[in-house]
Chain A
Amino acid sequence: MPNSHTLNFARLLDWVEGRLSPEEAAQVAEQVAQAGERADLGWLRAFRQVSAKTTLAAPPPETRDLLRQRFAEYAQAKRPAGMLRRLTATLTFDSSLQPATAGLRSAGTQASQRQLIYAAEIADVALNLQLRQYNQHFDLAGQILPKQAIAPAGFAVELVRDAQPIGTTTADELGEFAFEDLAPGMYELGLRNEQFDLVIAPLELRR
C-alpha cells in the first residue's frame, strides 16, 4: 500500500513528539529510514531538547505594576519644575440624574448609557459610559474640549483604580480617547500634556 502521507515538517513534528498512532509512527519511521538524513528532523530533535530545558515565562503582574510606577516617576522627574499645572475638573452634568422621559423608546436605554461632563479652567471633558449587558462592565469614551488655545491631541490619558494605573492611552486629533471593559467601581482619570495635569476624581462607574 503506498504511503498516504507526505513526510513533511508537520508529520515529522507529530512523529518526534509521539503524537502518531503506533501504525502511523512505524510508517514514518520507515520513511525516515529510507529518506536518510534530514536537516529538519535534526532541527526538530534539537529544538525539543532545548525547549525542554528553557523557560520563557511572563513575570507576575506585580512586577509590571511596579515598573509602571517607576516609569511614571521617571517621566515626572523629567518635566521642567514649576511648569505643570495640576487642575481638578468638577462634574457639571450627569445624565443619570436627569429624569427619564416616559413613553419614549429611548428611555429604556438610558440605564445602559450615561453621559458626564466635567469642567475645569482650561477644558471640559465629556465622558460617555456604555454598559455591557453580558458582563455588566463599562466602555468609557471621552473627549477633551479645550477652552483655550490648547491642542487636544496628544494628551496622555491615564485611568487609575486603587492608586494603581490600569490603563493608558493618548487622545487623538479630536481629543477623543476610550477605555474598554471596565468593572464597576471608583476610578480616577488623569489627562496630561506638557503644561497641564487635569484630574477627574472620583469617577464612579455604576449602573
Chain B
Amino acid sequence: MTKARVDHQPSSLGGRPDNAAAQTAGPTMEMQQETDDDLIRACRSGNAEAWERVLDKYERLVYSIPLNYGLSRDDAADVAQLTFTSLLQSLDSLHEGSRLSAWLATVARRNTWRVIERGRRESTEEYGDVAETMPSLGKDSTSLLERWEMVEWLNHGLTLLNERCRGLLLALYFEPDEPSYADLAARLGMAVGGIGPTRARCLERLKQILEER
C-alpha cells in the first residue's frame, strides 16, 4: 500500500510519512537518487507526485535567489511562481541531461533582475568580499561568483546530504530565524545534546561535498 502524509505544516512534505525531519528538509534520500531526467519524464506524464518532488528539491533554491538579491518575500514568492511556471511551459522541450538546478537558477535570476529593473529595488552589488573566500570553500577562484551561483552551489551541496543533516544545517545557518537548540531538537526529533555533535558531522560532510564539486 502506498501512503501519503497530508501536509499540515508551513513547509511542504515530499509524501514521506513518519519523519519530522522531512518537513523541513525537503527531498529524501530516495529522491536524491532520482535523476532530473526521471523527474522530468514523470512530470510530462502528468505525475503530480513527481512535481511535488521537483518542488521539494528546488523550491528553496528558486525562492532564495531573489531573497539574496534583496527582494522582499512577496517579490521572491512571485519570482518562484514565475520560474516554476516557466518550467511547466518548458517541460516538453527540455532535452535529455538537462540540469534542473542550473536551469531553474538561471530563470530565477532573470526573473529577479526583471523585478529589480522594474525599480522595486536597486542593487548591483556583487558578492565581492565573499568571492575572495571561495578558494577556501573549494570553489574556482578564477570566476567572480555571483550571488545566484552561490545560492545554487550551496543548495546543490545541501541536497546531497541526508535529510537530518540538511534540515539541521538549513535551520542553523541559512534560515532567517535561527531556532534554539531545544526547538530544533523538537522539530527534528533529536536529543538537544545531540545537536552540537551532529552539526559538526553534517558540516564536515557538506565541506567534503562542496570541495568535490
Contacts and interface: CB of A to CB of B under 8 A. Distances in A.
Interface of A: 9-10, 13-14, 19, 40, 42-47, 49-51, 53-64, 66-68, 70-72, 74-75, 78-79, 141, 156-159, 165-172, 174, 176-183
B1 A172 contact: yes
B3 to A, nearest CB: 4
B73 A60 contact: yes
15 contacts: A14-B196, A42-B136, A46-B134, A50-B137, A54-B151, A55-B174, A57-B64, A58-B12, A58-B60, A60-B77, A61-B7, A61-B12, A67-B51, A68-B48, A78-B44
B67 A63 contact: no
Interface string B124-137: 00010110011011
B77 A168 contact: no
A57 B176 contact: yes
Given A167-B5, A172-B2, A75 B46 contact: yes
Nearest to B47: A156
A182 B67 contact: no
B10 interface: yes
Contacts of B44: 78
Contacts of A55: 64, 67-68, 174-176
Contacts of B37: none
A168 B197 contact: no
Nearest to A153: B2
Contact of B81 (A57, A63, A178): A63
Contact of B10 (A50, A61, A78): A61
Nearest to B1: A176
B77 A70 contact: no
Interface in B156-175: 158, 170, 173-175
Given A166-B7, A167-B5, A180-B17, A59 B63 contact: yes
A58 B59 contact: yes
Nearest to A176: B1
B55 interface: yes
A55 B71 CA distance: 12
Nearest to A78: B46
B6 A179 contact: yes
Q: Considering residues A61, A64, A181, A183, which has the most beta carbons from chain B within 10 angstroms of its beta carbon? A: A64
B32 interface: no
A111 B24 CA distance: 34
B174 A51 contact: yes
Given A14-B196, A51-B174, A63 B80 contact: yes
A181 B170 contact: no
A47 B3 contact: no
A51 B158 CA distance: 12
Interface string B192-208: 00001101110110010
Given A19-B196, A63-B80, A177-B4, 15 more contacts: A10-B200, A14-B200, A49-B130, A54-B147, A54-B151, A56-B158, A58-B11, A62-B77, A63-B63, A79-B46, A157-B4, A159-B6, A170-B2, A170-B49, A178-B3
B59 A59 contact: yes
A168 B5 contact: no
B1 A167 contact: no
B154 A56 contact: yes
B38 to A, nearest CB: 15
A72 B99 CA distance: 23
B6 A67 contact: no
Given A56-B174, A67-B81, A169 B15 contact: yes
Contacts of B11: 58, 61
B52 interface: yes
Best-buried of A66, A166, A169, A177 by chain B (most CB within 10 Å): A169
Contact of A167 (B7, B67, B150): B7
